[in-house]
Amino acid sequence: MIDWLRLAESLIASPWLYAVLVVVSCLDSFLPLIPSEAVVIVAGVYAATGQTDIVLVIAATAFGAFLGDLIPYAVGRLLGVRVLRRLPPGTKRRAAHDWFTRELDVRGGFILVTTRFIPFGRYLATLSTGLVGYPLGKYMMFVGFATAAWSAYTALSGYLGGVVFQENTLLAIAVGVGLAFVVTGVIEVVRHLRRRRGGVAADTAVD
């Protein structure tokens, strides 16, 4: 198994680092065990010392993540018809399918952008979006924004840690990882609150 973090550190001063960022962020879009965040944060830390280019780090990571998010969507589109045949009208599974389709129509951008920051959430969202036949054009637009935002926040988390703790690389990486977890936690709290408000609004409408 490839040690992506060690590979990235060995290529810090090489242009090949950006190719590694493209590959690791692409694979992480559909393989949960790939440590893309850690690799991007390390690249961001070293950007603070001038050994990497923060703009290229962000661009390479966003490009790889965008390509990677197209794969589960494509798989979902290929399986969508078969899945729908196994969901007879009136069943709970068909109701869940139809509910998610309606949710995407109303707030597809919000779902795709926020789940990009949540481990495992992004895998389920991108695959499910393909399964329900979400329009490709809208999907690419929202995923493009989501991957760019995710790449920037991840790389800049490392960069900020590197700026503050230039004399201690390990501490800088730890701070970058910590910042990434904080942002992810805040996003998850916001999603939870929105779901609760949506549930309350639905119950009120029913009453």
Domain count, the chain: 1
Q: Which pLDDT score is estimated for 41?
A: 87
Question: How far, in whole angstroms, is CA 85 from its chain's centroid?
Answer: 30
Question: How would residue 69 be classed by pLDDT, with cut points 50, 70 and 90?
Answer: very high
**Would you say residue 178 has pLDDT above 80?**
no
Please say whether the dihedral angle defined by the alpha carbons of residues 198, 200, 203 and 207, taken in this order, is positive or negative.
Answer: negative
Q: What is the mean pLDDT of residues 25-50?
A: 87
**Would you say residue 156 has pLDDT above 60?**
yes
Tokens at residue 157, please? 């988390």
pTM: 0.76
Question: How far, in whole angstroms, is CA 33 from its chain's centroid?
Answer: 13
Question: Measured between alpha carbons, how far is residue 16 from residues 12, 26, 28, 60, 182 in Å?
Answer: 8, 15, 18, 11, 30
Range of the domain at 85: 4-206
For the stretch 89-114, pLDDT in tens is: 777 777 777 777 787 887 788 888 88
